[in-house]
Amino acid sequence: MIDEFKIYFLFFDRAGYGESDPNPTRTLRSDTYDIEELADKLQIGPKFHVIGMSLGAYPIYGCLKYIPHRLSGASLVVPLINFWWSRVPQNLLNAAMKKLPIGFQLTLRVAHYFPWLLYWWMTQKWFPNSRNPKDTMTERDLELAEMHTKHSYIKESALRQGDYVSTQRDIIAGYGNWEFDPTELSNPFSDSNKGSVHMWCALEDKQISRDVLLYICDMLPWIKLHEVPDGGHYIIHEKRHFEAIIKAACSE
């Protein structure tokens, strides 16, 4: 597939992951410009396609907002839902939030309203702050997650600096106050600027609300929605689904 489409993949560690320096003031905007700076320093060219999954999709929204001129395309795979977006109907966001386990809901609220307390919240033992994976993942998700986390890079390198400067700051950046709402985004592509934006929705996903993603795509008809009937939250780790995601990204 890589030979067919003449592409290559560039993976990088966001601030606080792997050997990337931590950034105590990380935001959606700063993570977006980190991507642009990395692309320039590696001289990969004026345009590139970005792909993000789940919580890792928030910088993709940032690229569409802050550096659309650098994009040849974008793919949002089961992207996070920020429950404090300003223009998505509150009833949709409330319904999506209520589907999550109470511990997960509380963690997101702490990250949004009291980000300086998140480390304490994640380490305290008095209140529920985590979730049982069985409540938020399908059986296949659990199998894929186990295979994925066994990878030596994940266990030994990606989280070497600790959860606080990596995953917890991801949560703060992703669920904090954004400077824009996804429905306010402008189409970065026209006849003279070819490219496409894709959103992938897994219909068996227990974490990401289909209704919210449908609303965003209804408001932004230039985003191509792909629904995966038999997919859960970890569809990107399924070979056939991953290949479908890449082929769609390379089709235009």
Query: Rounded to whole angstroms, how far apart are CA atoms 42 and 39?
Result: 5
Instruction: Give residue-wise pLDDT tens across range 35-79.
Output: 999 999 999 999 999 999 999 999 999 999 999 999 999 999 999
Indicate if the alpha-carbon torsion angle 205, 198, 158, 161 is positive or negative. negative
For the chain, the average pLDDT equals 91
Q: What is the pLDDT of residue 252?
A: 67
Looking at residues 206-218, what average pLDDT do you find?
Answer: 97
List, for residues 75-119, the tens digit of each pLDDT value. 999 999 999 999 999 999 999 999 999 999 999 999 999 999 999
The larger pLDDT score, comparing residue 244 to residue 163, is at: 244
Residues 6+ apart with CB under 8 A from 41: none
Average pLDDT on 6-24 reads: 90
DSSP for the chain? -HHHHT------PPTTSTTSPP-TT--HHHHHHHHHHHHHHTT--S-EEEEEEGGGGHHHHHHHHH-GGGEEEEEEES----TT-SSS-HHHHHHHHHTS-HHHHHHHHHHHH-GGGHHHHHH-SSS--S--HHHHS-HHHHHHHHHHHTSHHIIIIITTT-TTTTHHHHHHHHHS--SS-GGGPPP--BTTB--EEEEEEETT-SSS-HHHHHHHHHH-TTEEEEEETT--TTGGGSHHHHHHHHHHHT--
pLDDT top residue among 1 and 73 = 73
pLDDT at position 60, please?
A: 97
Confidence of residue 251 (pLDDT cuts 50, 70, 90): confident
pLDDT at 148: 76
Query: And the tokens for 27?
Result: 């935001």
CA dist 106 and 91 (Å) reads 18
Tens of pLDDT, residues 152-170: 566 667 777 888 788 889 9
Q: How confident is the model at residue 2 (pLDDT cuts 50, 70, 90)?
A: confident
pLDDT at position 164? 75
- At 155 the pLDDT is 60
